[in-house]
């Protein structure tokens, strides 16, 4: 039947043409991205990898900050209120289960100050150690974001310079037969890497600045929480605060004139 309808096209030829027509839309859909990577060269591939890494680091840090409660300090006022009424044990029990860096630092301060065997200097050193450990955990990975924000534009500029060198080499090869369209095509392909580098660097810089600012604010809250613990007096349960001081008048009367 096919041979009668298309006498000049055998069945195999019609099948091949049909398959090619079906495959053409998929190829056309994938071609812009492929052309983009081909025009940008290896620099575009490196920048794409850096974009994936920076996005992954940003997501991991956001999840970490949400999990440990960075920026949530509503419990501090309640803990300070308990300490002011001499409920140190209850305050410590409320702080220890919390994953918040501020809670970790305040718990170390409460635990050390409530221990009569620990010197105040030792307690402060322990609180400083705990605070630094919490800051290091929050800052882990941020240096990579800062590095990507710094080197991505430089890599893009490097790709542009290499592309311009290649374009001028092609101009030198053709001599006087320079076509403006060919020259313009070489220039815009070279500029692709600069645009890609900036597209990677700007989000990385924004994420780094916001995350680092969150760490700095949390560090200030940790210092403030520890200071509040150290400035609250620790009362001895065996000697109530309201007990009157012993009078010295009988002793003065007993002394000989």
Averaged pLDDT in 10-residue chunks for the chain of 257 residues: 44 39 45 62 89 97 96 92 91 93 96 89 95 97 96 93 79 66 67 91 97 97 94 60 41 44
In angstroms, rounded to a whole number, what is the distance separating the alpha carbons of residues 118 and 141?
A: 35
Q: What is the structure's pLDDT at 110?
A: 94
Give the alpha-carbon dihedral of 222, 65, 216, 57, to 10 degrees.
Answer: 150
Residue 69: exposure state from Cβ atoms within 10 A (0-12, 13-18, ≥19):
middle
**Can you tell me which residue has the tokens 């100050």?**
113
- Are the beta carbons of 142 and 212 closer than 8 angstroms? yes
Predicted pLDDT at 32 = 67
**pLDDT at residue 162, as a whole number:** 85
SS3 call for 247: coil
pTM: 0.71
Q: Tell me how far CA of residue 20 lies from CA of 83, 144, 200, in angstroms.
A: 79, 46, 37
pLDDT computed for residue 41 by the predictor: 73
pLDDT of residue 184: 63
d(CA 221, CA 60): 23
Q: Which pLDDT score is estimated for 176?
A: 65
Q: Which pLDDT belongs to residue 175?
A: 63
The residues near 65 (Cβ < 8 Å, ≥ 6 apart) are 71, 138, 211, 214
Whether the Cβ atoms of residue 112 and residue 118 lie closer than 8 Å to each other: yes
pLDDT score for 212: 97
Q: What is the structure's pLDDT at 238?
A: 37
């Amino acid at each position: 039947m096919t041979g009668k309808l298309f006498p000049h096209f055998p069945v195999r030829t019609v099948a091949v043409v049909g398959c090619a027509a079906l495959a053409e839309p998929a190829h056309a859909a994938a071609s812009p991205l492929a052309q983009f990577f081909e025009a940008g060269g290896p620099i575009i591939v490196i920048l794409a990898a850096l974009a994936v890494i920076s996005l992954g680091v940003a997501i991991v840090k956001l999840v970490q900050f949400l999990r440990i409660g960075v920026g949530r300090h509503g419990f501090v006022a309640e803990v300070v209120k308990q300490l002011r009424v001499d409920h140190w044990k209850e305050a410590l029990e409320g702080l220890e289960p919390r994953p918040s860096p501020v809670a970790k630092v305040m718990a170390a301060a409460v635990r050390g100050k409530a221990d009569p065997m620990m010197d105040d200097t030792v307690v402060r050193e322990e609180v400083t150690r705990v605070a630094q450990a919490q800051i290091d955990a929050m800052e882990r990975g941020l240096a990579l974001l800062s590095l990507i924000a710094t080197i991505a534009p430089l890599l893009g500029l490097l790709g542009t310079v290499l592309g311009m060198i290649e374009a001028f080499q092609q101009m030198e090869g053709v001599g006087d037969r320079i076509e403006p369209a060919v020259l313009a095509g070489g220039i815009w392909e070279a500029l692709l890497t600069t645009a890609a580098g900036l597209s990677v660097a700007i989000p990385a810089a924004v994420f780094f600045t916001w995350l680092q600012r969150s760490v700095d604010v949390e560090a200030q809250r940790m210092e403030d929480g520890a200071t509040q613990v150290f400035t609250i007096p620790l009362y001895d349960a065996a000697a109530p605060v309201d007990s009157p001081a012993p009078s010295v008048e009988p002793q003065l009367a007993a002394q000989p004139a």
